[in-house]
Amino acid sequence: AVGCGGGDEKKADGDKKITMGFSQIGAESEWRTANTESVKEAAKAAGIDLQFSDAQQKQENQIKAIRSFIAQGVDVIAFVPIVETGWDTVLKEAKDAKIPVIIVDRDLKVEDDSLYVAKIGTNMITEGEKGFEWLAKYANEKQLKPRDGGQQLNIVVLEGTVGSTAALGRTKGFNDAMAASPDKAKFNILASQTGEFTRQKGQEVMESFLKSYGSKIDILVAQNDDMALGAVQAIEAAGLKPGKDITILSFDGVKGIFQAMIEGKTNCTVECNPLQGELLMETAKKVLAGEKVDKIVYVEEGVFPAEVAEATLPSRKY
Ligand code: AHR
């Protein structure tokens, strides 16, 4: 734990309602919608006045929003960094204005860690590792064979937004786990391209993978569920059975992918928990009250293979 808010950061006055400026990156996925709802609902429940700004997938819009929160003199700023780099200047401006900053969902890299007071989110590297572990086990249990009769199971990857923690972390976790695995020789990454975390782009890129590699593709790793759902359409349009001809692993754990798993169209999702609003509001209150908070807090998440989808769907909250 580190001391935050105990220094020269701004503190909310006793009875005054706290105002939080929150910059969300957009609405690219089912996951993002759940994340936004979680933040809005938690702010309401906590009696915090939320100034919400949607950046439409542009870092420059986030920087503008943060500057406008500073100009308004909000009590605390929270934001989801669309990419990891490029935040030093604006966060220095927030620090100079004595407004504490809390990072949500994705990570960032700044020269001086005192530019933010806390980070709340998920461990994307661990998610990538869990994804490979599931895949290696599944390939062994099902005795998966390359469709083209070759020696290795070929993987295509739909990556998320270039430069985002969700893409960088899942790529690193997956690739490192594969490199360290006794099963590594069984797998080959054939192609990897961004699908920008959207269903539409996931479908388009999968179409182009199918055109280029056809029966060489055995496995799809989609770095979010929405891209996997888009890819399912492309695979069906190519006359193949998603989840059978091509094994599909994705990330997030949204209801839409549980439905697809129940229908046998995808095989596993590694959870990324978007319900971070409550923790964000609690953290903001503590920071403004001058209490100590943990610098990094990761929310809990699981791995859900298709076998558990039907039993699990009724209890899914997003
Ligand atoms: O940062 C979290 C990622 O962003 C989720 O995996 C994805 O669906 C979202 O758009």
CA distance 291 to 157: 43
pLDDT of 34 reads: 97
User: The pTM is what?
Assistant: 0.94
DSSP for 211-238, please give it. Answer: HHHGGG--EEEESSHHHHHHHHHHHHHT
261 near 309, Cβ under 8 Å?
yes
Mutate which of 25, 35, 39, 197 for ligand 1? The one with the most ligand atoms within 8 Å of its CB, which is 197
pLDDT digits (tens, 9 = 90+) for 258-271: 999 999 999 999 99
pLDDT digits (tens, 9 = 90+) for 193-232: 999 999 999 999 999 999 999 999 999 999 999 999 999 9
Mutate which of 36, 272, 298, 299 for ligand 1? The one with the most ligand atoms within 8 Å of its CB, which is 272
| Interface predicted TM-score (ipTM) | 0.99
Helices 165-179, 124-141: crossing angle, 10 deg rounding? 40
271 beta partners: 252
Of all protein residues, the one whose alpha carbon is nearest to atom 1 of ligand 1 is 166
How far from each other are the two terminal CA atoms of the chain, in whole angstroms? 30
Residue among 174, 158, 171 nearest 231 (CA): 158
